[in-house]
Every structure is written in C-alpha cells, then in structure tokens.
Amino acid sequence: MFDYAHLKALSVVVSHGGFDKAAKHLFISQSAVSQRIKQLEDKVGQSLLVRTNPVRATETGKRLLRHYAQVQLLESELRSEMDVDDPSLPTIVKIAVNADSLATWFLPALVEIFKQHKWLLELIVDDEAYTHNLLKNGEAVGCVTTSQIALSGCSSEFLGNMEYLCVATPEFADKYFRSNNPVDEVVHAPAVVFSTKDKLHDKFLNFYFGINDKSWREHKIPSSESFLEAIKMGLGYGLVGHLQAQDLLDSGELIEIFPNKRMQVPLYWQHWNIKAKQTSVIYRSLAASAQVALV
C-alpha cells in the first residue's frame, strides 16, 4: 500500500512546479515535502521526479499520479453515496478539451450536471491531437481527442465530426482569390492558424493542393475567439469550425472560399476505465450534445 500523504505530496510538487511552492500549499516545511518524495521513491525503487525548473514527473511518477487521481475520484463518489460530503473536499473533475469544442458545444453539455451534482470543473485546454497525453499522464480523468485508439486502461467513444470550412471576408477573398490558380493563391494569401501545434491548415493544403513545404504565410493566434476575430477583421483566411462559421456565412460577413473543400476532424471521448459515476454521467451528456452539434 502507498502512503497517500506521500502521493499527495508528489501531486502537489508536480502541479505547483517545485518543492517550495508545494510546501506552502501543504503548510509543511520544504524538507518534509522532500522527505515524503524520497520515501515514495525508496518504496518504488525509482526516481519519480525530474528536478528541472519547473519540476516534472518521470514516467513512473506519471503512473503514480494517475493512480492517485483515480483514487481521489472514487473516494469523492463514495463520500457522496454515503452522504458524508465534506464541503472542504469537493469533487474536482479535470477534463482536457480542445479550444474549438470549448468555444462551441462542449461547455453547454456539462453545465447542468455539474450544477446538479455540485462538482467542480477544471478544464485543461490543448490541441485535440495532444489532449490524450494529459489523460495518459493522470492530469485529466477524460479528454476530447482525435485519437481513436484507447490508451491503456481507458475507453474511447466516438462523439462526431467537427467540420472545418475555409473562410474569409468578401473583401479579403476579392483581393487574394481572384485568379484561376488556387495553389498560388493559398501560398501568397496570409492564413490565420491557431498555433504551432495545430496542423489542420497544413493537412488542408497538403490534401487539396499537394502543398507540404511550409511555403505559405501565416499568422499564429492561439485563442479560439481571437482567431475568428482576426479572420473577421480581414487579417487572413482560415479554417473555422462549422458551429462558429455558419451564422457568419448566413449573414454574409464571411464567405466560403472553397465550398467543395472541407476538413472533417473526428472527435472521441476517452476516459479511465474505473467505475466512477462522474465519467459515465459526463459521457452520456457529451454524447447527447455531440449528436446534435457535430456532423
């Protein structure tokens, strides 16, 4: 058996990025935190932390963090079932989600169940191709991801497709997309992309135009709302999810540059295989909303 005070110390050190901050959070001395980590490392016979700045967990450390997070979730459910909830120990559900889902269909799907159960929601926002890493590392109990293959100890459920349209303002399209040479146009017209992690624009240009040499021009704006605003203000053209694009297309504020060239991104819900009410209730709610919102 593991000493859960030691596991908690490991979790706090990693989440706060160092021993000093962890000690302040736990209201103990830094040497006491170090001692707990050492005793835990002695027990497993391996190093659990990479002592960089900030401190990060080793692969073994990540496995222990995942175990600790699962136990916390199950214990909070047990307290609820036994009607011995401690207001000082509320159930915190950590979920990793991509920015486009968060900006559209995701949050409305969960609001009512979190209000009903009085759970606390902690969202970690990352690109949909990377969110499953947060689940793997024990930083989240579930994630919206493009990865279909379930991680070890997890389940993967298909939610639906987010469809992306290539759009711009009419003025921008008239300036940059007037010739009959779309390959030349998409290279010379400035694009708006979400971040360096977001490879959707790269895949779009490669799939439809055979461009894969990163020769195009792009603005990087890592905010779902500001990304769309930049396109609306004529800074560039870009791929926008159908849930955000449709009203703007209907109003004429944006136009679709290539109506027959769309990208579909499949989204999956991955979660731990533990018998926790939180993960099953959340999945049912997400699946119901996704059935309406996604394609």
Strands 142-145, 120-125: pairing kind: unpaired
pTM: 0.77
Q: Where are the domains of the chain?
A: 162-265
Query: For residues 37 and 88, is the Cβ–Cβ distance under 8 A?
Result: no
Q: Identify which of 149, 287, 169, 181 has the alpha carbon closest to the alpha carbon of residue 231.
A: 169
Q: How many C-alpha atoms does 105 have within 13 Å on its Cβ side? A: 22
Helix (H) or strand (E) holding 50: strand 49-50
Cα(30)–Cα(252) distance, rounded to whole angstroms? 60
Cα(153)–Cα(56) distance, rounded to whole angstroms? 22
The tokens for 62 are: 């990540």
Instruction: Say whether domain 162-265 belongs to CATH 3.40.190.290.
Output: no
pLDDT (tens, 9 = 90+) of the chain, 295 residues, equals 788 889 889 988 988 889 999 999 999 999 999 999 989 888 888 888 888 888 888 888 888 888 888 777 777 666 666 554 555 667 888 899 999 999 999 999 999 999 988 889 999 998 888 888 888 877 888 999 999 999 888 899 999 999 999 999 999 999 999 888 999 999 999 999 998 788 999 999 999 999 988 888 999 998 888 999 999 999 999 999 999 999 999 999 999 999 999 999 999 999 988 777 788 889 999 999 999 999 9
Query: For residues 257 and 209, is the Cβ–Cβ distance under 8 A?
Result: no
Question: Which DSSP category does 105 fall into?
Answer: T
Across 136-194, where does the E strand assignment appear? 142-145, 154-168, 191-193
Omega before 87 within 30 of 0, i.e. cis: no
